[in-house]
Structure 1
Amino acid sequence: MVDDFDYRFSSEVFDDQTGLVYYNHRYYSPELGMWLSKDPIGERGGYNLYGMVGNNAVDKF
């Protein structure tokens, strides 16, 4: 049943063919648990270019 939906845990579309989630500017791999490309804003978002909200989304929102 879950395969019938493009939206799963994330608010973005999951691609069944690649297994990736596209977040408007870069791809996220749920299997690897990481982004596959650098943060498009560069070091302005922090020195970890592959991170998001300091890897602590609960405290950031």
Structure 2
Amino acid sequence: MAEMTPDTLERIIQEVYGSEIPEERLRVISRTVTQTLEALEKASEVDLEGLEPAPPHAD
């Protein structure tokens, strides 16, 4: 996965949401995206071979 710098991430977010987004909201979105990418990267390193799917939830 390519490295995502904070400046690049902020530029992408501004392109998606527009330049009108408040600075604090931009930081929250940026932090959330960064944490999600980190979690996905960690999850991709987990060996899932031999694991069974969880049973469906009862709603």
Shared fold per TM-score greater than 0.5: no
Larger radius of gyration: 2
Please report the TM-score for the alignment, with normalisation by the length of structure 1.
0.23
**In proportion to residue count, which structure has more helix?**
2
Greater RCO between the two (CA within 8 Å, min separation 6)? 2
Please report the TM-score for the alignment, with normalisation by the length of structure 2.
0.23
**In proportion to residue count, which structure has more strand?**
1
